[in-house]
Amino acid sequence: MDLAFSKNSVQLFSAWFGRNGSVESFVKEEVRRPPFPCAKITTLPCCSPEEQGIDSERIQRFYERLSREDSIKMQTVIIARNGHIISRAHFYPYSTDVWHVSYSLAKSLTGLAVGLLYDDGLISPDDRLLDVLKDNIPPAARINHKNTTIHHLLTMQTGVFFNELGAVTDTDWVRAYLESGVKFKPGTSFEYNSMNTYILSVIVNKIAGKSMTELLRERIFEPLGIKEIYWEKCPKGYEKGGWGVYYYPDDILKIGLLYLNGGVWEGRRLISEKWIRESTKKQIGTPDESGIYDYGYQVWCKQDRSTFLFNGMFGQNLIVFPRTNIMIATTAGIDETFQNSALYTIVERYFGTPYRPRAHMAPSPEKLAALRAAEPGYVMHNSDAYKYRNSGNKVPDINGVYEVQESDGAGLSIMPELFQAVHNCFAEGLKRFTIRIDGDEGVLTTLEGKTEHTLKFGIGHEVPDCVRYDREQILTSSYAYATDDGGLRISVCFTELPNIRYITIHPVNDGVSVKWEEAPGYDFIYKLMDRSFLGKLVLADRKTKAVDADFITKRVKYFLQPTVIMKKVR
């Protein structure tokens, strides 16, 4: 299986990075995420920061510091203490009342589901994987995985080769996982791999006799008042486990409070205190590139137990400080997979050790009023909305219909490339491009393959809209500004996702020059490909077979930041 997996992966990513035609996925996912439900949020009680012993001015300084950090793109932040929400910040044009993709934050929910079966006496961390799955075990698995346990899956110590690329190169992930070899003896080292969590999801489904979502809904979500949550499923119908959850940020705070209360919610025990304790304590150390946290049972944690973390890539977090009962939920679009971002350093500076809030503080109406006025209106200093908002630049006259050479349009889409890869829905290729601006609003229409996509945007202000892409409805909030060099730059913010698509258009001769960019994007992909053996294989110079930093830089820029010339046809 490893050879087939590697061959398929190289073939897929070579076509994707090469931009020499449309990309054909190895896996066709028939079930797609439903539209955002627009349901009413059930939230924790709210109060002022001072009622929970925290100065409103401190929180405002924290948000302002985040807004000035060039390396991050914050979307939302919610702060709670002692089970009360004390502040929520919206960074333009995002809002906390929209559900959001979790990425690997979903792993902590899978760990919670495993804990329910543990409490029921149906599973133990010491159980062997092959004994639990039992049926249809491939012969190779009886050699490679004979000593792999649930503990190894929970703590990322299996060493299995089959990784996240399996999600787009194979339809039977269980078989592929079991047939895969291992890099090291299970239990001897840490290697983060989402497919370990996927196998835990399969185990929960099989032992519980129901889907993991149903189990969690009955035992955890309904008691906590969590009504709207969606978990993507694999081609065989199991929740993906390690990723794929869409949730309201308020709801993840409820899960955090359940952990802070040792598994008790409103006087009712939902999960054992022992499982919470084992999940949030260090089970294994992690390498430096993973960040400042070690690993428990599908939860990141500090060895001194001062902090634990539910973490999804690009900045989807629940950061919990048990000693002070402070929780911080974030959504963002950061070029990082783990906890190396400045976000965590800033959070630690304002709320980590040795910060000790009081039990309560005297009311401060002026400070509280200043915080509440600022909360809905933060703007990241690295955003176009901040850079160009007072520029007064004239919008260019670019109304028209434009066509692109087929080879130039390969892979291009209104959707970011990174979204296409993670969600296994590759673009058909850009053919035509129409833009109409009337006053302070505009409409962008792209023809990709045989499918037309329409997007509304504002000039100097955001316009909410919805893009329909590969059987999904995806919320957007888009705005455009005239650039200093006579162009128009459209920022397409996907409000349920970490992604932003930037489209910069300049008039040239009988057409336009269009530059395509995205965030997260170049920094993330470059680091990922540069340190990955498969990435270097995909990006190898076909003439010399050598890989060097300059070559990788050029290839990734060509892939993520292409500029195409489009001819005006009417």
Residue with tokens 């990309």: 23
Structural domains in the chain? Answer: 2-25+387-568 (2.40.128.20), 31-98+249-268+287-382 (no CATH), 100-247 (3.40.710.10)
Worst-scoring range by mean pLDDT, 105-109, 458-462, 539-543?
539-543
Which tokens belong to 300? Answer: 């990141």
pLDDT in tens, 376-396: 999 999 999 999 988 889 999
Q: Which helix (H) or strand (E) holds 410?
A: none
Q: Parallel, antiparallel, or unpaired: how do β-strands 472-482 and 451-459 relate?
A: parallel
Q: At what angle do helices 249-260 and 106-119 cross, to 10 degrees?
A: 40
pLDDT in tens, 114-166: 999 999 999 999 999 999 998 889 998 999 999 999 999 999 999 999 887 76
Token pair listed for 312: 């999804």
CB atoms within 10 A of CB 227: 15
pLDDT higher than 80, residue 445: yes
Residue recorded with tokens 């999940």: 279
DSSP codes joined into one string, 207-221: HHTS-HHHHHIIIII
Give the model confidence (pLDDT) of 401-434 as tens digits: 999 977 778 778 999 988 888 887 888 889 999 9
Instruction: Determine which of 2-11, 56-65, 155-164, 203-212 has the lowest per-residue pLDDT on average.
Output: 2-11
The continuous run of DSSP H or E covering 388 comes out as none
Residue ranges with strand state E in 156-276: 230-231, 245-247, 264-265, 268-269
> pLDDT-based confidence at 170, cuts 50/70/90?
confident
- Mean pLDDT over each residue of the chain, to the nearest integer: 91
Mean pLDDT score, 72-85? 98
Cβ neighbours of residue 444 closer than 8 Å, sequence gap 6 or more: 414, 433, 434, 435, 454, 455, 457, 490, 503
pLDDT tens digits along 453-496: 999 999 999 999 999 988 899 999 999 999 999 999 999 999 99
Which candidate, 22, 16, 20, places its Cα nearest to that of 428?
22
Q: Which residues contact 313 (CB under 8 A, 6 or more apart)?
A: 103, 104, 336, 337, 338
For the CA atoms of 117, 119, 121, 123, what is the dihedral angle to 10 degrees?
40
Q: Identify whether the C-beta of residue 81 lies closer than 8 Å to the C-beta of residue 45.
A: no
pTM for this one? 0.94
Structure tokens at 420: 């296409």
Task: Please list the helix, strand and coil fractions of the chain in percent, rounded to the nearest 5, in that order.
Answer: 35, 25, 40
- DSSP E strand stretches across 307-399: 308-312, 316-321, 326-332
Phi-psi region of 150 (alpha: psi -120 to 50; beta: other; left: phi over 0): alpha
Residue in this structure with the two tokens 């007064």, named with its chain if needed: 392
User: Which CA distances in Å does 363 have to 8, 19, 45, 55, 370?
Assistant: 62, 59, 18, 9, 13
Higher pLDDT, 339 or 552: 339
Give, in degrees to the nearest 5, the angle at Cα 453 between 93 and 388. 35
Q: Tell me, rounded to whole angstroms, the distance of Cα 392 from its chain centroid.
A: 35
DSSP state, 43?
A: -
Confidence band of 3 (pLDDT split at 50, 70, 90)? low
Range with the largest mean pLDDT of 20-29, 84-93, 175-184:
84-93
Write down the pLDDT at residue 432: 94
Establish how many alpha carbons lie within 13 A of residue 100's alpha carbon, considering only the half-sphere containing its beta carbon. Answer: 34
Percent above pLDDT 70 for the chain: 89
pLDDT in tens, 352-380: 989 999 999 999 999 999 999 999 999 99
pLDDT at residue 21 above 90? Answer: no
* Distinct helix (H) and strand (E) counts, the chain: 21, 22
Q: State the number of CA atoms in the 13 A half-sphere of 312 facing the CB.
A: 29
Asked if residues 130 and 268 have their Cβ atoms less than 8 Å apart, the reply is no
pLDDT score, position 256? 98
Q: Are 241 and 106 in contact (CB under 8 A)?
A: yes
3-state secondary structure of 453: strand
Q: Is 115 helix (H, G, I), strand (E, B) or coil?
A: helix
The tokens for 51 are 């009622």
The residues near 22 (Cβ < 8 Å, ≥ 6 apart) are: 410, 411, 426, 427, 428, 429, 449
Pairing outcome for strands 264-265 and 451-459: unpaired
Which tops the pLDDT comparison, 30 or 143? 143
Predicted confidence at residue 9, as pLDDT, reads: 64
Angle at 208 between CA 204 and CA 210, to 5 degrees: 95
CA 530 – CA 550 distance, rounded (Å): 11
Q: How confident is the model at residue 552 (pLDDT cuts 50, 70, 90)?
A: low
pLDDT band of 316, cuts 50, 70, 90: very high
